[in-house]
Structure 1
Amino acid sequence: MGSPQAPPARSASERRRKPSYIFISSLALADILASIIFVCSFVNFHVFNETDFSKEMYLLQLGGVNTSFSASLSSLLLTAVDRYISISRPSEYKLLMTKKRAWIALGVLWVTCATIASLPLLGWNCCTLNSTCSELFPFVDDNYLSSWICFIMVLLGCIVYAYTHVLWRAHQHVAYMEKHQVQVGKQNTRMRMDVMLAKTLVMVLTVLVLCWSPVLILMIYSIFAKLSNHLRKVFAFCSTLCLLNSMVNPIIYALRSKELYSSLRMVFSRFRKQLKASEESPEAESTHKSSMIETVCEDMRVT
């Protein structure tokens, strides 16, 4: 309590509880889930051609991938809205974007994404409806695939619009400061931090679009035309880019965000100290015991 390092640590923990970092944590969780489920389902089916699975198991795995990817995009959208409010209405930000509202928004987000992803398992599939099945995903109805692609495209469009507005407002702010030579204060410092976070998430969005665009394009193409075996192999390769996207995102967070980078360093340093302490404790006990034995022997000699 009396340590001079306590206030900075406490302020850092408070910053990490801001809605921005709550949304980033949701984004990281979705990326981790996407990586795990993707390795267990998509790679096994498209790369190793393992077809020994039930319809329910396959649709469950596919629903997990769709949930995590949709939640990742939706978390980016919530972060974009958070940055939009922070830069466009900074004086009302703390009133509009509270931690309670952030957690409620995340809850609605994950429930909505899980519900949409579970529709094929709940009955919207080509086996139940006797409709046309997708060429890329067994048991998946083409109409559901079209609806899911439209949902993803709407999310991407909203994210791109929000971040474009954020960067435009940030550019206006920087130009105004340079023109009038405004003295840098606390408000301007916070603005620079918001712009830095916005640029970081733009990098995340750029990597996401580059990795997922080939997959989405092939999905759209499969609805209107028959895919050849070569295109199926191309889709399998492009699917691995989606896994790469989930692996790259945490690296971008750590390199671009000083607070997240310092937090990771603190975690690793504490872990190393605990390891050193656990290694040194047996040696200290043995040294203490040997010193006690020597003392007893000396006492016996004296007597």
Structure 2
Amino acid sequence: MSTRIDDRFAALKAEGRAALVTFVMAGDPDPETSLAIVTALPGAGADVIELGMPFTDPMADGPAIQAAGLRALKAGMTLKKTLKLVTDFRVQDDKTPIVLMGYYNPIYVYGVDKFLAGAKAAGVDGLIVVDLPPEEDLELCIPARDAGLNFIRLATPTTDDRRLPKVLENTSGFVYYVSLTGITGAALADYAGVSAAVKRIKGHTGLPIAVGFGVKNAQNAAEIAVNADGVVVGSALVDALKTSLGPDNKAGEGSVEAVTSLVASLAAGVRGARPQAGPAKNGGAFSWLTRLWA
């Protein structure tokens, strides 16, 4: 049975273009504004939404996303409220795929079975849990698959051809290629290297390949969208929101537009990357994550 993620990537492949995958932190800067932002993302051009699950110790994230998570927690965001945000989003949008991204600790504390049941009921389509390597698939990956959720794996520049089959073994939805070494928000990756990596990974799987980390603007997005099946943007959107906030990190009148205007620009870049219509022809890899997955 296909998921919204499967259906969205299949539809975009038929259109001959890549997906724009947007990351925002659930509850940043407050639950109400966060819901308004997430609800506005599809209309601005987002094809898939990654929703960060706030956590007190996000060791893989750069300063921007760390700060976003802390703002959300300070505003009272919890994992239960994150699921409620998805439920509220689904009242207005039953088509756009939602992926929850974060760390295993909050899920473990919440209870795996309870979390998966709640995520499925809310309308979540997939999970990215960056600190669970393939060797721990029985913890969450397999139960998530059995619950009807995609479990999306990360591949890094150091994931070689010997390691890649293990990484891909229970992956579904799409493969998230972390295009550089470092933390989220780091410098842009080398385009030629990214293109070669996408081609290499495609030799091992028929899943779509989405590339993230280092994408700041429409030009960056267009460069990656030429060869990848998806372009993931996170820190740039979090930064755009941060610049709109007032004293004490309170949302301003332009906070939603600060995010959606950048998404619209990125979407234009992605959509213009392959001028010919028809079927497609074609973060940071954190040091500790590289050791887990590579």
Normalising by structure 1, we get a TM-score of 0.28
More helix by share: 1
Task: Determine which structure has the larger strand proportion and give its number.
Answer: 2
TM-score relative to the length of structure 2: 0.29
- The structure with higher relative contact order (CA 8 Å, sep 6+) is 2
